[in-house]
Chain A
């Protein structure tokens, strides 16, 4: 009776295991590789020395230990968080908009964050000695305001609030905010260098404080987005059919946009605008595994983290001790890889 009944429809455990293994390997590689020459054994002994009851003596001196634990490790961990969040948010956006090119930047998260950052740099008070740096806070608020504006605009369109009107509203809001940012930049031209430095995206000066700042957002938002993965499959048949299948598509869309934007705003605030990750990672997962969001969302979470850590290894080693902006690496490494995956796949990108 049940011969031939598909059994591998839910996310197979070996995909999760493989993606987790990849993440572990990249994190270890990220910890081992860097411009400072520190022996792998030194890093291992230093790691083991931090585990209670093992009584391993670290073979690193204080400075090397600082480099590994205060500079390199937080950077790797932040890379995982940023990459995971951008990828999982991208997959959710593509799901709710049924648009393969959707990501939070499309609805103005990037433009809003850029404007917020520019405002903070140009008009922010002198924040030296402040407990919180106003720059990430302003970028965070800017990203959320940008998407909220797009949502409100799209929602009030008289011809109905469909995914398409929302995207058009997003394009309009993003264009407006970018123009505003450019205008401010022209007026306050001495801020130009700092604004561009921020926009290019960087994990250069990441520390544990940045990790602590974004961790709750990334964990919270990822949990919600992963929990909603099955509903993204239902949303893929369009609003009217989804509603006859018992959903409130516009409510689910609002909720998912909200959490994807919140998480993206948080990571963008500390890393700047790192492009391409939210589009390339979910699509690579889709082309290599399945078109079901039950697979795409959790795997994007794991693979996105690996991807950004790898990109960051490239960013800080290729021209060591000089850095390349990570956004340049994600595009330079990611685009050809994506092209190969695209060419090899028989599947259609919707």
Chain B
């Protein structure tokens, strides 16, 4: 059972407070979407959860406090894809996905046959086994996201943290990647925490949402509750509208009347 619990977490860079008193919890096997405007502290929160930044307060995975374990044990508990992952030029897709096996290997041990098999399975389940030998730096945006997800799969961690997995993708590619994440969530039963900038997509894929603004939690709960016009308007802009199409919430921003020159 791996739920994620964040309680009263604060993060500062020097004197600047990035997060303050952030608390949230994600149930085992659930997908928590972190939403909010640019600079709200979404990425910082995710980096705190994976143990990359020092924080005050407490973050636990199941009953394990982050930072109480060594990096290798943490690597087996939590997998992370940063906003802009590094794709080393010249490295093959297969080798890149194989990096996900690092926390399962002895420090100086070579990969075993079973690791190769796991990597191969991960590639196949994301339909990218066809370019296993290609240079990871030569792939398109959608392909690199699949490769990063394949590495997450190969890492076999019960908690997955994704920072803007679909930024810079077109609508179709974004949808495809989110479906793949949902597939991983349901097939592997993993807990997912992801920052997501597209509120409509967040409404459709996430089980729960946390709305951050200026380092603080503004709203938290199911998408229906959080994606409220009044709440969003207070955080984003007053002209935001939430409409419902075929049972899904769609968030749009209208051009304000005053700035329109056509009327």
Contacts and interface: CB of A to CB of B under 8 A. Distances in A.
User: Do A and B touch directly, given a CB cutoff of 8 Å in the complex?
Assistant: yes
Given A236-B86, A243-B52, A350-B89, A6 B94 contact: yes
B76 to A, nearest CB: 7
Nearest to B80: A244
B75 interface: yes
A247 B102 contact: yes
Contacts of B135: 291, 347-348
A244 B75 contact: yes
B71 A248 contact: yes
Contacts of A286: 90
A9 interface: yes
A31 to B, nearest CB: 35
A228 interface: yes
Given A6-B92, A233-B95, A245 B110 contact: no
Contacts of B129: 4-5
A241 interface: yes
Interface string A200-242: 0000000000000000000000000001101101101110110
A243 B99 contact: no
A246 B99 contact: no
Contact of B99 (A5, A245, A349): A245
B88 A291 contact: yes
A246 B102 contact: yes
B243 interface: no
A241 B71 contact: no
A238 B86 contact: yes
A343 interface: no
Interface in B208-222: none
A241 B75 contact: no
A2 interface: yes
Given A241-B85, A246-B75, A233 B91 contact: yes
Given A227-B108, A233-B91, A233-B95, A247 B85 contact: no
Contacts of B74: 244, 246
Given A227-B108, A233-B99, A234-B102, A348 B132 contact: no
B90 A350 contact: yes
A231 B76 CA distance: 17
A244 B86 CA distance: 13
Given A237-B85, A246-B72, A9 B90 contact: no
B225 interface: no
Given A6-B92, A9-B95, A245 B52 contact: no
A348 B137 contact: yes
Contacts of B79: 244
B99 A234 contact: yes
A99 interface: no
A10 interface: yes
Contacts of A290: 90
Interface string B60-100: 00000000000111111011101001111111101100111
A14 B50 CA distance: 41
Max chain B Cβ within 10 angstroms of own Cβ: one of A246, A247, A248: A246
Interface in B21-80: 47, 50-52, 71-76, 78-80
A248 B123 CA distance: 27
B100 A245 contact: yes
Contacts of A246: 71-76, 102-103
Contacts of B88: 98, 236-237, 291, 350
A237 B86 contact: yes
Interface string B103-121: 1010110110000100010
Interface string B191-214: 000000000000000000000000
Max chain A Cβ within 10 angstroms of own Cβ: one of B86, B111, B137, B155: B86
Max chain B Cβ within 10 angstroms of own Cβ: one of A233, A237, A248: A237
Contacts of B95: 9, 233, 292
Contacts of A231: 107-108
A9 B110 CA distance: 12
B133 interface: yes
A236 B82 CA distance: 15
Contacts of B107: 231
Contacts of B103: 245-246
Contacts of A4: 129-130, 132
Nearest to B108: A227
A237 to B, nearest CB: 4
Interface in A1-53: 2, 4-6, 9-10
Nearest to B95: A292
A251 to B, nearest CB: 9
30 contacts: A5-B120, A5-B129, A5-B132, A6-B132, A9-B92, A9-B116, A230-B111, A234-B102, A236-B86, A236-B91, A237-B88, A240-B52, A241-B80, A241-B82, A241-B86, A243-B51, A243-B71, A244-B50, A244-B51, A245-B99, A245-B103, A246-B74, A246-B76, A247-B72, A247-B102, A290-B90, A292-B90, A348-B89, A350-B88, A350-B89
